[in-house]
Structure 1
């Protein structure tokens, strides 16, 4: 029995067969595709983070100004209080008795009244300012808390994306140089068959006006690498490219695929015009720009460059016109 058990060990300890080149490629592409959704979520959180940071900065500026106003009011109230003590600390009847001139006493009493009025007004102003500053502090505290929550969420999404990309890199690194070369050659053949191109060129299609300006910019980015979370000028993710292109044409678009989808006027596939934004898979995963002739320009995924690809190279979901 012992001998039999020993004889089984080599079989049990054998490593699982390594995946084939095609299997690795499919796994890597799947990981890259899975990284797109959290990338867009990360972009949305980062936009919220910027907004909250601006609100926090504004609140802190307001607090500083109000604190300065309170300090100035305190400086005014101090001398007024001292004057009141000097002029009003004695019983009025005694003041009249000590005064050799009743008119002089009346003048001093009137001045004292004015001093008291000014002090009361300054005190009321300071009390109002203190209430305002307390409210500002409470608002700022809430905004700071929200900001910290978005920072934590952004870090979580960043970690999720990086974990998928790291796994993809490990798969690629497990291949031999010959296997990687074969995979790249296969991809190039597929791209050529599908009409995918990332060579630098100039847009010469039928678009005009702002749409042409946006496409001119997009074409100038051909061959630049995809990088998640990037809006240029040296690299882009998908919504980073569409946003930068239309920004160059004078149109401000929101940051993420989902936000761009929600902001645009929807157009049917049959009514597409060059410059329209194309959404593949769903309304929040991947987008690009229609260039005409059934093709689109987009920033595809990690490991690839801005390219022109067939419109139907991915499942078409919708289109919008900025």
Structure 2
């Protein structure tokens, strides 16, 4: 995420709307001749453009975390639905076995002069009809109660699985719609940011990426940093983050070649054998909270009131993080953004 700057309490959208209004009023004044010659709206300064771009990036990243959360829930619903379908298929196999056993009984009865009405129902083309019949097992006679009972049990289980699958399918549809809405919002914010950036020359853009890229200017070797980590898993996560310096930021990405902010953290700890949640607002609760004064390499540091950005602390007031689409994974001071909290992963 871009470096923290004092907000001018307006979004890029508000700036655009005010600019458009200024142009419209100027045009109206010219047309009526009320105010003399029209004056073009003042061109925003590079500082104003950078501040608006920063705001758009923060908004996009906050929505990215919502998208990541919806995606995680959609994938979970999809797995549950698949498991339910697999279990339903297994139960159907058991039902078929139970029906086959009853079929043997029915064949013997038929040869001996008739087929019990209850068995006719059991072997019908509509086995779900069993569930509508009361005391079916009793009607089938003492000899076949256990077999018919098993069939009824399998049918009830299958119907329960079908109901659960319908719920999961509905949840999956809802999550996918939520992902689509978030994706459209993210795309819109990033498109607006790119248009604003086009107004700046390359020399005017460094402020968007948090000043100097410290990735190549660190005086401390990664080995000395990992040696101060509170444990081997934290040390491995820090080492992974160092290896990913320079990787591009891509929203929704979890590596191995591109990342968003929470994706980098998840990948770093995954390399150490630790499974972390996908989103910043879940990652902050994935370990023990620590004070800023107690930070050690490997701790997760979070920023902004909405917990929309995260980095991995590497000591001396610095972190490695995936800032935004204008900056690759890099090493920067943690005081470049408003600090919101820290967590130590056990």
The equivalent residue for 1:263 is: 286
Q: 2:301 aligns with which of 278, 289, 293?
A: 278
The equivalent residue for 1:112 is: none
Task: Name the one with the larger helix percent.
Answer: 1
Judged with a 3 Å threshold, the aligned counterparts in structure 2 of structure 1 residues 200 and 305 are, in CA distance, closer, same or farther, namely: farther
Structure 1 residue 63: deviation in Å? Answer: 1.0
Structure 2: unaligned runs, 5 residues or longer = 1-28, 116-139
Structure 1 residue 273: deviation in Å? Answer: 0.9
Q: Deviations over 1:144-173 (max 9, x none)?
A: 101111111111111111110111112223
Judged with a 3 Å threshold, the aligned counterparts in structure 2 of structure 1 residues 141 and 13 are, in CA distance, closer, same or farther, namely: farther
Partners of 2:114 and 2:253 in 1: CA distance: 71
TM-score norm. by structure 1 comes to 0.81
Q: Secondary structure at the match of 1:289?
A: strand
Of stretches 79-88 and 200-209 in structure 1, the one that deviates more from structure 2 is 200-209
Structure 1 residue 295: deviation in Å? Answer: 1.0
The equivalent residue for 1:135 is: 160
Map 1:248-259 → 2, pairs under 5 A: 248-259=271-282
Q: Secondary structure at the match of 2:205?
A: helix
The equivalent residue for 1:75 is: 100
Partners of 2:50 and 2:65 in 1: CA distance: 23
Judged with a 3 Å threshold, the aligned counterparts in structure 2 of structure 1 residues 10 and 82 are, in CA distance, closer, same or farther, namely: farther
Q: 1:164 aligns with which of 189, 198, 201?
A: 189
Structure 1 residue 16: deviation in Å? Answer: 3.5
Q: 2:268 aligns with which of 235, 241, 245?
A: 245
The yes-or-no answer on 1:152 pairing with 2:172 is no
The yes-or-no answer on 1:227 pairing with 2:250 is yes
The yes-or-no answer on 1:191 pairing with 2:186 is no
The yes-or-no answer on 1:31 pairing with 2:59 is no
The yes-or-no answer on 1:216 pairing with 2:239 is yes
Partners of 1:5 and 1:313 in 2: CA distance: 45
Partners of 2:30 and 2:237 in 1: CA distance: 70
Partners of 2:91 and 2:179 in 1: CA distance: 33
The equivalent residue for 1:317 is: 340
Structure 1 residue 79: deviation in Å? Answer: 2.9
TM-score norm. by structure 2 comes to 0.76
Partners of 1:51 and 1:81 in 2: CA distance: 44
The equivalent residue for 1:107 is: none
The yes-or-no answer on 1:122 pairing with 2:147 is yes
Structure 1 residue 186: deviation in Å? Answer: 5.3
Judged with a 3 Å threshold, the aligned counterparts in structure 2 of structure 1 residues 185 and 242 are, in CA distance, closer, same or farther, namely: closer
4+ residue segments displaced more than 6 Å = 9-14
Of stretches 160-169 and 205-214 in structure 1, the one that deviates more from structure 2 is 205-214
Q: Secondary structure at the match of 2:71?
A: helix
Partners of 2:187 and 2:38 in 1: CA distance: 32
